[in-house]
């Protein structure tokens, strides 16, 4: 993934994210990635995630999730959490989320499909125009997607 199409944040693995073995308890990765998604929406939209949920009544539930655990992360490890849009449809988007150690080792990757919904009807809706335009900068070029899929 290229830096121009990736939203990323540094993260230090916390004690509360680890199991008794001293490594990240796997569900905590999903919490980290959900926090990253919320930070992304906050960064790319005027009102942020709170406005989208509260005022606009637009939800972004997960409808499909695939996870690959490649290497362990321990308490105190510094990692980079990243997010990119692999594909954007009219009502959904497919994200690639990664946790990479500062040593460059991929620790964990998630492929996630999110659907935009009305929080009034709980039915799928078109991705709002302002959100779509803001997300467009994070859509991976097709040649990158093709290259990622081959790995």
Query: Would you list the DSSP string of 64-89?
Result: EEEEEE-S--BTT-EEEEEEEEEEE-
Residue 80 and residue 11 in contact, taking contact as beta carbons nearer than 8 Å: yes
- pTM for the model: 0.90
Q: How far apart are CA 64 and CA 67, in angstroms?
A: 10
Condensed to tens digits (0 to 9), the pLDDT of residues 96-130 reads 999 999 999 999 999 999 999 999 999 999 999 99
DSSP for 95-121, written as a single string: EEEEEEETTS-EEEEEEEEEE-EETTT
**Residue 133 pLDDT more than 80?**
yes
Domains and CATH numbers, the chain: 9-138 (3.10.129.10)
């Amino acid at each position: 993934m290229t830096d121009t199409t990736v939203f990323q944040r540094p993260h230090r693995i916390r004690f509360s994210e680890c199991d008794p073995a001293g490594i990240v308890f796997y569900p905590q990765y999903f919490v980290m990635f959900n926090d990253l998604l919320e930070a992304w929406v906050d960064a790319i939209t005027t009102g942020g995630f709170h406005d989208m949920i509260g005022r606009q009544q637009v939800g972004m539930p997960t409808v499909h999730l695939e996870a690959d655990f490649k290497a362990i992360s321990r308490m105190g490890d510094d990692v980079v959490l990243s997010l990119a849009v692999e594909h954007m449809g009219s009502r959904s988007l497919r994200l690639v989320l990664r946790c990479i150690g500062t040593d460059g080792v991929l620790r964990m990757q998630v492929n996630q499909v999110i659907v935009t919904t009305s929080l009034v009807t709980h039915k799928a809706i078109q991705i709002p125009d302002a959100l779509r335009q803001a997300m467009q900068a994070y859509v991976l070029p097709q040649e990158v997607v093709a290259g990622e899929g081959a790995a």
